[in-house]
Amino acid sequence: MFSVLELRPVLHEVLIGIFMVISTPVTFVLLVRAALHRDSAEGDNPVDKNN
């Protein structure tokens, strides 16, 4: 990847992309686990409910 104004590689853009790719699924898993824990603490378990 190269800068638009100069023909030199830009490392920070690649590092930001790698960070986003790694951190997005981790954040999603933590949010899901927090929501499931909250629901189980309230006694409401939407996973077991039948429609």
The C-alpha atoms of residue 31 and residue 23 are separated, in whole angstroms, by 12
Q: What does the pLDDT read at residue 12? A: 85
The C-alpha atoms of residue 51 and residue 39 are separated, in whole angstroms, by 18
Q: Which residues contact 10 (CB under 8 A, 6 or more apart)?
A: 1, 2, 3
pLDDT over 70 (residue 41): yes
Residue 38 or 45, more confident: 38
Q: How confident is the model at residue 20 (pLDDT cuts 50, 70, 90)?
A: very high
Residue 3 or 21, more confident: 21
Q: What is the length of the chain?
A: 51
The pTM of the whole model exceeds 0.75: no
The C-alpha atoms of residue 46 and residue 40 are separated, in whole angstroms, by 9
Query: What DSSP state is assigned to residue 3?
Result: -
